[in-house]
Amino acid sequence: MKKGTLTLFVILFTVFVTNAQAYRTKIDSLIQKAVELNRFNGSVLVSKNGKIVYEKAEVD
């Protein structure tokens, strides 16, 4: 029983971390493109379901 619960936890954690990384990568790419085009200068904070998935400041 404990082994099954631990396995389930590891799988769910892996899925969550993978999804969070995907969000970070996509958002970072969009922000970097805007910065390169001189269209953005500031801070970004993105949350999903009350959890912060991305935060970064780009200041020129």
Is the pLDDT assigned to residue 2 strictly greater than 80?
no
Q: How many residues does the chain have?
A: 60
pLDDT of residue 9: 64
In tens, the pLDDT along 3-59 reads 666 676 666 566 666 676 777 888 788 888 888 888 878 888 888 788 887 888 876
Is the pLDDT assigned to residue 1 strictly greater than 60?
no
Instruction: Break the chain into its structural domains and give their ranges.
Output: 2-58
- Whole-Å CA distances, 37 to 47, 51, 57: 25, 29, 16
